[in-house]
Amino acid sequence: MEPWPRIVVHADMDAFYAAVEQLDDPSLRGKPVLVGPKSARGVVLTASYEARAYGVSSAMPVGAALRRCPDAIIVGPRFDRYQEISSQVMDTLADFSPRVEALSMDEAFVEMTGAGRLFGSPTQMGRKIKEAVRKVTRLNISVGVASTKYVAKVASAHDKPDGLTVVPADGARAWLAPLPVSRLWGAGRKTVPRLHALGLRTIGDVATADARVLGRLGSLGAHFSALANATDPRPVNRTRVARSIGSDRTLVADVSRREDIELHLRRASDRIGRRLRAKRYVAHGVRVRLRTNRFQMLTRQRKLRQGVDLGAELRVAAESLLDQFDDPGPFRLVGMAAFDLAEREGDRQLDLFEDRAARELEMTVDDLMHRFGGGVLMRARDLADWATVANEGVNLDYLETTGPEDA
């Protein structure tokens, strides 16, 4: 076997949200668990492997999931708890290498090149990482080891759950060949049919395809050809800046009135502002998303003249975007995101015209929620309508750091 030119590990927690719920509540172990809202209107965030045996998957409507698995137990998400476990996982991975690139709360790349003297062969590295994560969290993690990020990521999903797949560099191209084109990074629901139309159904087909055929896919053709031939020179980045921080709410009842939409944007802006300040980010853009009851997603966004991290500033920008929507609704989802993020260096320099009282108020609320929990405070004007999403709707706060979107 040829020596490894590079060693990259991709570590991915198994059914992460559901696994945490089964860890904390022993009565859920061995049972089909869906993490998501207790409403047929919402979507499944994570399904346990017991539920997946019935064909249930993430992003599936809860109603459809329950039809496939009537005995499934629905558990509301607890993102603070997931973040706590995620931090333990990332700290554990950092014990193996200073170069850890987190992709989300439950998966990361680890650069292990040159670590053989400390941790042994690539297979031994993978085993030790799995053992260390299990010891700290009592949860299983699947690990892929390869010479490129792409192959390592595909390998980690190859033998889930609790898998370890090692793909040497000199065998990577052959290992990828029989896999379906859907496993190519960037080939999603829109692109896969285009590949099939060109007669390309496996990664091996793409690896040997004529450049003129792949050229019909534009720049994606060269990208897919490189991946199919196990070529991926991208480094493991020690730090990764988020692309956006967002908050989506699928509502118990559809809304049409502007004041009802503004209610949910106000709540979202408060949450996003707190998360921006906690992560020491400022946002240079705001995006609003509305999904109609016909399941059409509408999006409007705008750039800001300077970086902001206050909920009040985000709210004003978001509400100004409502004038650009020409669909009267009704809407079943109201979402908002802060994008074009930058890390804040040192103390934030205040704008000459910034409302200092607003900043002091939001910082005080940050402190109270940190000390006493997220439910300690709420706006008096929101009291009457709090139940519209708090217990039954989909409350999805996210940090988006994913790769290129599907073409």
Residues annotated catalytic, as ranges: 107
Task: Classify strands 141-146 and 164-166 as parallel, antiparallel or unpaired.
Answer: parallel
Residue 71, C-beta contacts closer than 8 angstroms, at least 6 positions apart: 31, 32
Backbone angles phi, psi at 328, to 5 degrees: -75, -5
Separation of alpha carbons 281 and 303, rounded Å: 16
Is the Cβ–Cβ distance between 335 and 373 less than 8 Å? no
- Classify strands 281-292 and 297-308 as parallel, antiparallel or unpaired: antiparallel
- Cα torsion 356, 360, 361, 362 to 10°: value is 100
Helix axes 79-94, 16-24, angle to 10 degrees: 100
Size of the chain, expressed as the number of residues it contains: 407
| Separation of alpha carbons 222 and 345, rounded Å | 38
Residues 100, 78: Cα–Cα separation, whole Å: 25
Angstrom CA distances, 238 to 129, 263, 277, stand at: 18, 39, 21
- Give residue for tokens 């750039």: 303
The token pair at 258 is 């502007």
CA-to-CA distance for 180 and 172, rounded, in angstroms? 15
Give the DSSP H/E element, type plus range, for residue 67. helix 62-68
Q: Which two tokens stand for residue 275?
A: 């998360």
**DSSP structural state of residue 138:** S
Nearest to 135 by CA among 89, 94, 100, 101: 89
